[in-house]
């Protein structure tokens, strides 16, 4: 999972939420303007679009200071997003103004690259307006606020983009303002619309900012002069009190009164899916393709299981034409062999580091893609981000150059029973952690997003497609297994196919839960039986599927589009095809939806 910045665009919280923010004044900017790059103007219309793109980027950062920090624009590091009704109104007005100006530009007169950027910006502006006016996450999703609260401090302290004392002063200013987020949360949320799972998750995440304060800020206080230190201490003391009050409100008021339905329904889901994927695939086509892929993938897994279990004592029967029960038993038995090789409870992060090193050596040895010049670091997932996914990739913003990417891995919760821990570690066994590293880092998100950020258009870097990014990571899993990663170990190949089965099931879960009313029991059956997931993984995915909509479809849809691109490159390049050329080319256009990458790669009209 790639960590999507919470507040990058003008409608604040962009793809995730649709909350808006008020623009700060020029007088409060903390640094010089960032180097926003647009593509060369080949016509007067290109120049007009370039001006619009710069104004949108500048306005987006002003309207969302936390997102600006994540993007690498540090003018507003001492400010927070304004989540009030007035702030939302300003942001919505900005999006509508920009969309009106963009629609007056004749895109047929733009360069091909600018035609793509204009299409991406139009999709984003319409998505922002949809989020603000129709989806209205600001009224029913409290995790928007807890996520912003943690992100406001984490990026400031985690990345060395400026001297530490400067970042500490910015953090102090934000700590002083954090209670305003709590006030906005209480004013904006309608408990009758808040789904219980959202309220419960917000309660769990609510002390995440204090975790960052205590682990990343307090130990560095000595870097500040005495007066600045005193100001920071006072701000922290007020924050502790404010968070205690906020947690009490969450526990005693919001959680008991949260009565909303987490299912957004067909109309909202279909519209959101259109914006989130920017794909030609409809919900119905996604379902058809996913169901067919499940049958095909399970057949591939059975073929591997037959070889693995041959002459194995106690193994189930593996006939050439198995019954459904025989297929299930053979695949499960082989997966159990892989699950037996797993790390200790407190060695998951260390195992992730070791497996990432193996993947890096393999990619370098086989010269599969140009490797990044900036580092990747495996870290323990910060508390404010836990509860949604087991891992994510947090890349530096496109305006922050040569800083580290964070491959964050969630710790096992302290309150889990031994049975729950065993279930988790069976799912995230040693081979599975190797696959996790391929997806999140090498050559998955870390490598692809580094390439994306080299493209000379800040707009395109900011407007990355989730389906292209997640699809690349799933494609990378497949490609590494095909190229023989881990010495062509059949159990690793089986685990890789299980991961693909999981990505495929994600797409079914997404729409079946949000649109068709799939129950928890039905979802668990799909995940644990059909897709062979362990109980802890499936239980976590059920929570994630309630907390998100459309994001779970990005893995499968994006992977299908990447596989289609690969086939087209083989056909068109013929004997000139090689993997490194293909990988360097397909990642060289930034991260637009795959259909635009194909049109740019193969010199086709931009649709």
Q: Are residues 347 and 235 in the same domain?
A: no
5 falls within a domain: no
Q: What is the pLDDT of residues 83-130, one digit of tens each?
A: 999 999 999 999 999 999 999 999 999 999 999 999 999 999 999 999
25 falls within a domain: no
- Return the axis-axis angle of helices 430-440 and 490-514, rounded to nearest 10°: 60
Is residue 539 within 8 Å of residue 525, measured between CB atoms? no
Q: What is the mean pLDDT of residues 552-579?
A: 97
Q: Are residues 408 and 531 in the same domain?
A: yes
Band (pLDDT 50/70/90 cuts) for residue 1 is low
At CB < 8 A and 24+ separation, what contacts does 568-572 make? 568/598, 568/602, 569/601, 572/602
What are the backbone angles phi and psi of residue 405, rounded to the nearest 5°? -90, 140
Band (pLDDT 50/70/90 cuts) for residue 278 is very high
For 75-89, give the DSSP string: TTTT-----SHHHHH
pLDDT for 34 equals 62
Place of tokens 């929570």: 543
* 392 vs 305 pLDDT, higher one: 305
Q: What is the mean pLDDT of residues 297-317?
A: 96
pLDDT for 11 equals 30
Please give the residue range of the domain that contains residue 241: 140-262
Q: Are residues 233 and 342 in the same domain?
A: no
Domain boundary among 236, 262, 288: 262
Domain boundary among 245, 262, 279: 262
pTM summary value? 0.89
Q: What is the mean pLDDT of residues 387-391?
A: 69
pLDDT for 452 equals 93
100 falls within a domain: no
Band (pLDDT 50/70/90 cuts) for residue 212 is very high
Band (pLDDT 50/70/90 cuts) for residue 541 is very high
Cβ neighbors of 342 (< 8 A, separation 6 or more) are 425, 426, 428, 429, 430
Q: Are residues 589 and 471 in the same domain?
A: yes
Q: Are residues 510 and 386 in the same domain?
A: yes
Check whether 30 has a pLDDT greater than 60: no
- Above pLDDT 70, what percent of the chain? 93
For 534-546, give the DSSP string: -HHHHHHHHHHHH
Band (pLDDT 50/70/90 cuts) for residue 12 is very low
Q: What is the mean pLDDT of residues 489-499?
A: 98
Check whether 14 has a pLDDT greater than 90: no
Structure token pair of residue 191: 């408990």
pLDDT for 2 equals 52
182 falls within a domain: yes
Check whether 215 has a pLDDT greater than 60: yes
Q: What is the mean pLDDT of residues 373-402?
A: 82
**How confident is the prediction for the chain on average, in pLDDT?**
92
pLDDT for 414 equals 86
Q: What is the mean pLDDT of residues 509-517?
A: 97
Band (pLDDT 50/70/90 cuts) for residue 412 is confident
Query: Nearest CA to 370 among 581, 575, 563, 567?
Result: 581
pLDDT for 26 equals 33
Band (pLDDT 50/70/90 cuts) for residue 35 is low
pLDDT for 27 equals 32
pLDDT for 13 equals 28
426 falls within a domain: yes
Is residue 79 within 8 Å of residue 29, measured between CB atoms? no
Q: Are residues 564 and 420 in the same domain?
A: yes
Q: Are residues 547 and 428 in the same domain?
A: yes
- Mapped onto helix, strand or coil, the DSSP state of residue 574 is helix
Domain boundary among 208, 227, 262: 262
Q: Are residues 235 and 356 in the same domain?
A: no
Q: Are strands 405-409 and 376-380 parallel, antiparallel or unpaired?
A: parallel
pLDDT for 389 equals 67
Q: What is the pLDDT of residues 217-258, one digit of tens each?
A: 999 999 999 999 999 999 999 999 999 999 999 999 999 999
Check whether 3 has a pLDDT greater than 80: no
Structure token pair of residue 188: 């904006």
Structure token pair of residue 433: 């952690």
Is residue 455 within 8 Å of residue 370, measured between CB atoms? no
14 falls within a domain: no
pLDDT for 36 equals 72
Band (pLDDT 50/70/90 cuts) for residue 385 is low
pLDDT for 390 equals 79
pLDDT for 309 equals 97
**In angstroms, what CA-CA distances link 191 with 13, 130, 248, 576?**
21, 22, 15, 60
Q: What is the mean pLDDT of residues 538-547?
A: 94
Q: What is the largest CA-CA distance in the chain?
A: 77
Q: What is the mean pLDDT of residues 283-300?
A: 98
31 falls within a domain: no
Structure token pair of residue 201: 């998750």
Asked which of 19-23, 174-178, 254-258, 488-492 is least confident by mean pLDDT, the reply is 19-23
Q: What is the mean pLDDT of residues 174-181?
A: 97
* 363 vs 383 pLDDT, higher one: 363
Tally the domains of the chain.
2
Quote the strand ranges of 163-240, DSSP E.
none
82 falls within a domain: no
* 480 vs 537 pLDDT, higher one: 480
Is residue 189 within 8 Å of residue 142, measured between CB atoms? yes
Is residue 543 within 8 Å of residue 195, measured between CB atoms? no
Structure token pair of residue 529: 């039986």
Asked which of 344-358, 385-399, 573-587 is least confident by mean pLDDT, the reply is 385-399
Q: Are residues 377 and 496 in the same domain?
A: yes
């Amino acid at each position: 999972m790639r960590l999507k910045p919470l507040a990058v665009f003008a409608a604040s919280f962009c793809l995730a939420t649709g909350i808006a923010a008020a623009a700060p004044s020029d007088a409060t900017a903390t640094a010089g303007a960032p180097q926003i790059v647009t593509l060369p103007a080949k016509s007067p219309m290109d120049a007009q679009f370039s001006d619009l793109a710069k104004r949108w980027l500048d306005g987006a950062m002003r309207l969302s200071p936390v997102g600006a920090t994540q993007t690498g624009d540090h003018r507003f590091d001492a400010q927070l997003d304004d989540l009030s009704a007035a702030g939302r109104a300003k942001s919505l007005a900005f999006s509508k103004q920009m969309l009106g100006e963009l629609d007056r530009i004749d895109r047929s007169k733009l360069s091909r690259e600018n035609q793509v950027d204009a299409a991406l910006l139009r999709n984003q502006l319409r998505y922002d307006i949809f989020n603000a006016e129709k989806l209205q996450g600001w009224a029913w999703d409290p995790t928007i606020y807890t996520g912003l609260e943690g992100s406001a401090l984490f990026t400031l302290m985690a990345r060395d983009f400026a001297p530490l004392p400067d970042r500490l002063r910015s953090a102090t200013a934000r700590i002083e303002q954090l209670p305003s987020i709590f006030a906005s949360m209480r004013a904006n949320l309608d408990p009758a619309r808040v789904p219980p799972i959202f309220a419960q998750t917000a309660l769990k995440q609510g002390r995440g900012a204090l975790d960052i304060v205590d682990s990343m800020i307090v130990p560095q206080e000595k870097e500040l002069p005495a007066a600045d230190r005193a100001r920071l201490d006072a701000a922290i003391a007020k924050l502790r009190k404010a968070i205690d009050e906020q947690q009490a409100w969450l526990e005693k008021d919001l959680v008991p009164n949260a009565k909303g339905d987490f299912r957004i329904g067909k109309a909202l889901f279909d519209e959101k899916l259109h914006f989130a994927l920017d794909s030609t695939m409809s919900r119905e086509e996604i379902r058809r393709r996913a169901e067919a892929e499940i049958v095909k993938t399970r057949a591939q897994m059975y073929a591997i299981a037959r070889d693995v279990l041959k002459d194995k004592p106690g193994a189930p029967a593996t006939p050439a034409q198995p019954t459904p029960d025989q297929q299930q038993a053979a695949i499960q038995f082989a997966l159990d062999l892989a699950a037996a090789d797993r790390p200790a409870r407190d060695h998951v992060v260390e195992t992730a580091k070791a497996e990432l090193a193996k993947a890096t050596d393999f990619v370098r040895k086989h010269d599969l893609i140009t490797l990044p010049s900036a580092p990747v670091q495996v870290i323990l997932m910060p508390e404010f981000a836990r509860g949604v996914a087991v891992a994510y990739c947090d890349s530096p913003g496109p305006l922050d150059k040569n800083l580290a990417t964070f491959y964050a891995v969630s710790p096992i919760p302290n309150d889990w029973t031994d049975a729950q821990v065993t279930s988790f570690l069976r799912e995230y066994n040693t081979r599975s952690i190797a696959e996790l590293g391929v997806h999140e880092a090498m050559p998955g998100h870390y490598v692809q997003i580094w390439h994306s950020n080299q493209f000379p258009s800040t707009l395109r870097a900011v407007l990355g497609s989730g389906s292209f990014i997640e699809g690349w990571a799933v494609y990378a899993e497949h490609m590494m297994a095909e190229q023989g990663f881990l010495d062509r170990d059949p159990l690793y190949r089986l685990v890789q196919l299980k991961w693909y089965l999981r990505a495929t099931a994600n797409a079914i879960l997404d729409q079946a839960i949000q649109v068709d009313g799939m129950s928890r029991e039905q979802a668990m059956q799909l995940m644990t039986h059909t897709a062979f997931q362990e109980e802890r993984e499936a239980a976590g995915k059920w929570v994630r599927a309630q907390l998100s909509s459309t994001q779970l479809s990005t893995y499968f849809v994006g992977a299908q589009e990447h596989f289609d691109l690969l086939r087209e490159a083989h056909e068109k390049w013929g004997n000139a095809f090689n993997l490194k050329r293909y990988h360097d080319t397909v990642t060289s256009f930034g991260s637009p939806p795959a259909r635009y990458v194909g049109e740019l790669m193969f010199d086709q009209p931009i649709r």
